Structure formats: structure tokens, C-alpha cells
Structure 1
């Protein structure tokens, strides 16, 4: 994004609110309308996605399919602990097929319509098949664990299942950078150079134990800029996508990487695992209380009689679908709070407030830039562009005298554009 210098600010007189307005006003006309329409449409996708999940669950229960899959697993093996894994195979495959039209619309057609998808339909299907394979394995393992806990502790399984899921989440965070992410993208060491040295320098200065920086080819999927510090212990790695290198200035790359390093330094992965485990706790408690009551009324019709039967899974997914939608404001607030803390850390680490603000404007391609206060609180899992630009300009005002002369200017980006026109 080209930066126009409007005026040179002295150590006093810099107005962060005016500077914020200058950035926000650079997104106008069709670009802003397209961004708002895309993001606001996502509000309805939450509701419709829940209804699609409920319809899928009802179909599997009412038709008797779920009960027949459980009986099939029992015929295949007498090992009760293995039966949920076998049940997972038809459950995942059939439920994925039921919702496939909805998935095609939300994940491919709509993204293509707004110019946010680079994959053709065939390429997208290929990635979906890979993702389906991962889902089959993960679901099979998870169901073995959860139903073993249900059988062993029928009165308190909600508590022990939540603790088990916390361990499962931590294990997932450990292996994802090494075994899952490379299934979808190619990771290569970032070429040596000044920018790579600056990123590693920031990492070392903040105690991030990473000796290399990886670049992954996400441009084959879309043009969104992205980076992360992922993994746990020996699998920790710093990664950024090729879009960030292609579309951002060196200062903007530093601003983004400062934010991502903040997630690691502030321990957000552990906080997130803990909080998600508490969310699981609420969901499992709801299932523990509600499932026997629902089965007492409709279980005979469905061929499902006890919560320890894997055939209950469609009912579990239906209850959790409603629970997740109702919990969305709380979950979004949790994530948004962590993102805001990482923003502050990144500003201190990279000391590139205008680069941070211009990057926030780039993200307006798919995030509404100026939502209402309540709208942001409910639907945004990251701070809005307005919130981020304002934070950057206030940081700049507080540290103006410390910045190099070249950074003391009042900046305004050129009019923002999206990656490609809506089709």
C-alpha cells in the first residue's frame, strides 16, 4: 500500500484521532461496500450453519442411520473401546455429504464471489478430501477417548472429558506445525536477508526459541496476508505466508511478526487451551444433563438408548451446534482480548505504528472496518480495523519523540482496494 506523506509532525501537535480518520477514510466506495457486505453476511452464516447442522443431525437420527452404524461397529469387533472409532467412519463421511452443498457455498462459491479464493473448484475439492482424511482420524481418536470416559465415569464424565480434551488440544498444538499444516502448504526456509535477520532478532530479543523463519505458499489458496508462531516445545516455528512478503512492505512485515511473537511471549496458546477447555466443560455439562432427558422421550424412536452408545453423536452435535452459537460472543471476546494484547506487544516490539495501521487497512478486504460497538463485541474475534488503527496512532502519539524522524510524519494510505473484484 503506497504511503503519502501529508505533513511533518513536531513532537507535539500529532492528533491520533485525526490520523486514525485519515486511514479509515482511505477505504471508500465499492471497496468498503464489498468489505461490509462480505463480513455482515457472515453474521447470517452463523445462524444458517447452525440450522444446517441441526438438519443433518435430525436426518441421521430420524432415519435410524446412526443406530445402524453403531450396531455395525458392534458386529465388526467385540472390543468396546474400538467401536466408537469404527462408528466415526460412516458418521463423518455421511454427515460431510449431507452438508456438502452448504460447505461448497460457504467455503468456495461465496469466497470466489467476493474475490477471496484463488483455488479452482477441483483444487478446492482436493483440499477438502485431505481435510476429510484428517477429520476422520481426529474424530475416531476423540470418540474413543470420550466414550471411554463416559463408560468409566457416567456421573461425572463431563468433568473428565473436559480434562481429557485439554490434553487433546495441547497435543494437537504440538503436532499441527509438523504433521498437519504441511498437508496443505509447502513450508520453506525464508531466504537470508535483512528482513529475515530482523525477524529472528525480534524473536531472540523476546525469548522466542526459533532459529529459523518459514514461508508457506498460501497464495495458491487466497491473497490474504498471514503469519503465526505455532507449535509447542520442540515444534515451535515462526511462519509467514508468501502473500505477506509479496503484498507488504518490510516495515509491515515487521509489524505483523511483532504481533505474532506477542502471542507466544504472552503465553496465549496456553491461555487459549485453558479457556477452550472451560468452554468444552460447559458444553459437556450441558450434554450430560440434557442427553438422558432427550433420549427418554425420543431415544426409542431413534434406536438410541444411553449416552454411552456412539449412536448418540448426532444428538451431541446438535446440542453443541446451538451451544456454540450462543457462546459465540464469549468466545469472540476471549480471542479478541488476546489479539488486542498481541497488538500492544507488537507495537512495542516492532515500533512501526504506521506500518501496523496500514496492515490493518489491508485486512479490511474481508473484515468490516468500522462496526458498531455492540456489533464488534458480538461478531468480531479480532479487533476491528478502526480499533487497531486507533491503537496504533495513540501508540505513535505516546512515543513520537522516540521515533526516527522519518516515522514522525502524519501518514495516510492511498485508497484501499481489495485483491480482486467481486464476481
Structure 2
């Protein structure tokens, strides 16, 4: 046990060292010579201090991202190999004979352990965002969000775990297919509920107050042939100084949302460009394509999860202190497999997302015919978020669901009216 745990910890440390050297030493985020002096060159729209801060903050944030993900895997591995998972299950078996209560109790304890282990890295990320003036959130508000996260994820995880073991007991070979069939309506239900139930738990949403701007946005929507009669703003300035806008939800619960930071920092033409971008997502049905892609990926993912989980639970049951795939104590193994496959599939998801974002950018410039506003928007986004305009390849590969700021500005700068849409 000690040898396995020591090996896992050593592997994590070596991984962290590699990530550190890549991000802080060898990762190339320099501006190509062909871009220097153009609107995509950060030196043309950032001050010297902003250039330094954006590099520092981006590197620290990227480093924390890459070391936090496998940290959860390490926690799951130690819980299994050290026998803690088995002990938790044994205690709950003595406490109650009801399987649902045992599962709920186990998921609660596991969730608390993972939350406590992850808390230091989460706290460091929060403090760094404060130090670089990215976050404006009070400590109390941050803690409140952590608590809300827990009490949303815990019941959902309990429900998923109950369904998983029930399906596995019913059909060892096809549980993954039955699970996917349940996933389809469940996912649609969450997409439908998120804008009106989940999101308001974190922030206050209300109709856009600026009636003149609202009229201009609705006129733009009418030009795009989008049925819309409402635009929302959200009080994100209580938590962040960054800028954003997005589309969320399905059907009657669909919402176009502007952060109040965006309303404060950008001029009307820039706001309209952002809205046109979001309208592009609607017109090109990206929400539905994204949902369809997610359901397809989840089908493939569940299939591979079944194969890997059954193999590991059978081959390494002694080392992992589990009785087999039906054992509740094996839940950390299942969660680790899900997390690893999700991480490995992120480059594909990001590639598809970047393609859709480029389409939405193209739609926005064609609808507004105001590339100057678009260029200014992305420059302001980069300044507000202290974002690298040209991140290293590995960071872009695993983290960027949008084209880089440099790519987006270059695309707009090269736009000529009348060109065919890509």
C-alpha cells in the first residue's frame, strides 16, 4: 500500500514539475513577428503593466488548472488503496440496512473529503484572482458559492450513484446503455431548469434596465429574424471584474444574458457586437448541436467507462480493497475513470467549441458590419480578464473553448464586406 501511494504521489509531483516548467519556462506565448504592430498585438492596446500582469496571472491560473485536475484522481486513488473507502462502506453497513441510505451516506462522506482536500487549491485560486483584481467577490460570498456547489452536486451525485448500482445489478452488460437512455431526458431537464432555478442561486437576474439599449438589441434580433422580447442582465460585478455575455437554456426558458460589468465597461457598438455574436449561436442552433454532441459523447463515454471499470475492478480488486464492480467502495474508482476520460476528451470538445465560436464571430461581423467594434470588444475582454492573447499550445489544446484573442482579432481585422461565410 505504501509503495503504491508513494508512487502515485511521486508521479503527481513529477507531473506538476513538468507542467511548471512548460508553463513558466518553455511554453511559447510570444507574439509572432507577422502580428506585431497589428490590432492583435497586445502591445498596441495594453499598457506595459497590463502586459506583465496578463502574463503573470495567465501562467499562474493555467498552472493551477493543470495541477488541480489530477489532484482529485490522486485523492480517489489514495482512498481506495489505503482502504479508507472500504472502511467508510463498512461503517455505513453497520449503521443502516437500507441500501439507499448507505449510498447517500457514502456519497456525502466522499463529497466532504474531496471538497476539503480541494479547498486549499480553490482558496489559492480565489486569493490570486483577488490579488490581480480579477475577482471582486467577498470571502463570505465565495464561501456561500462553495456551499451552494456542494448542496447541488451532492444530491445529484447521490441520485446518479443509486441509479448506477441499480442498473448494474439489473444488467451487468447493458447498464451503460440504459444509463444513457436515462441521461437524455435528465440532461434536457437540467438544460431547461438551469436559467430559472440553478443560475439564480448564485446571482440576481433581471430584465435589462437600459431601455434604449434594449430596443437596439431587439432591433438587431429582429434583423436576425430571432423571436425575442427580453434581454437579461446579471449582477456579476459583485464577484468579478471580467466581462461576458451568454445564451443559456432551452425553449421558453432560453435567456440572453449580459453581465453588468460588460454594460459598464463597453460602449453600445461593442455591446451590440457581443449580442450579435450570441444571436449567431441561436441562429446556427449551436445550443442544440452542442447538446446533441454532448449526448453522443456521453454514450461513447459510458461504453468505455463500462469496459475500463469492469477490467480494473476485476484485475486490481485486492490492491484497491474492493470486492468487485458492484461494491459501493469502488465508487472512487468509477469517479476517477469518469474524470480522466472527461479530461482526455476535452481537446475534442474544445475544437468543436472553437469552430462554433468562429462561426458566431463571423455572423456578428456580418450582422453589424462593424469590425472596429468587434476588435475593440476583444481587446477589452483581454484587458479585463488579463488573458494571454496567444497562449501556449498545450494550454489552448486543453483549456480554450474559444479561439485565442489574437486569432479572433486577426479574423475581424482581415474581414472584408461581401466575403462568403466560412
TM over 0.5: yes
Query: Superposition pairs for residues 274-293 of structure 1, below 5 Å?
Result: 274-293=292-311
The alpha carbon displacement at 1:140 in A equals: 2.0
State the partner residue of 2:74: 55
1:309 aligns with 2:323: no
Change in Cα spacing, 1:99 to 1:192, as seen in structure 2 (3 Å) is closer
Change in Cα spacing, 1:67 to 1:387, as seen in structure 2 (3 Å) is same
**What RMSD over aligned residues (CA atoms) do the two structures have, in Å?**
2.8
Helix, strand or coil at the partner of 1:138: helix
- 1:363-403, Cα deviation, whole Å (9 max, x unpaired): 213321134677645542211111111222223x3259xxx
State the partner residue of 2:245: 227
State the partner residue of 2:169: 151
State the partner residue of 1:408: none
C-alpha distance in structure 2 between counterparts of 1:254 and 1:17, whole Å: 28
Which 5+ residue runs of structure 1 have no aligned equivalent?
Answer: 1-15, 401-423
* Kept after mapping to 1: 8 A contact 2:314/2:325: no
Helix, strand or coil at the partner of 2:247: strand
Helix, strand or coil at the partner of 2:129: helix
Deviates more, 1:245-254 or 1:261-270: 261-270
C-alpha distance in structure 1 between counterparts of 2:211 and 2:36, whole Å: 36
State the partner residue of 2:114: 95
Query: Superposition pairs for residues 214-293 of structure 1, below 5 Å?
Result: 214-293=232-311
Which 5+ residue runs of structure 2 have no aligned equivalent?
Answer: 1-34
State the partner residue of 1:40: 59
1:112 to 88, 113, 130: 130
1:394 aligns with 2:408: no
Change in Cα spacing, 1:345 to 1:75, as seen in structure 2 (3 Å) is farther
1:65 to 81, 84, 104: 84
State the partner residue of 1:189: 207
State the partner residue of 1:366: 386
Change in Cα spacing, 1:171 to 1:319, as seen in structure 2 (3 Å) is same
C-alpha distance in structure 2 between counterparts of 1:22 and 1:52, whole Å: 36
State the partner residue of 1:319: 337
Helix, strand or coil at the partner of 1:240: strand
Specify which structure has the bigger relative contact order, considering alpha-carbon pairs within 8 angstroms and separated by 6 or more residues: 1
Change in Cα spacing, 1:110 to 1:278, as seen in structure 2 (3 Å) is farther
State the partner residue of 1:335: 353
Q: Count matched residues.
A: 383
- 1:315-369, Cα deviation, whole Å (9 max, x unpaired): 1222233323332321211211121111112222333321111111122133211
* Kept after mapping to 2: 8 A contact 1:84/1:147: no
Helix, strand or coil at the partner of 1:398: coil
- 1:119-170, Cα deviation, whole Å (9 max, x unpaired): 1323211211112111112222222333333333311333333343343322
Change in Cα spacing, 1:312 to 1:223, as seen in structure 2 (3 Å) is same
C-alpha distance in structure 2 between counterparts of 1:170 and 1:31, whole Å: 42
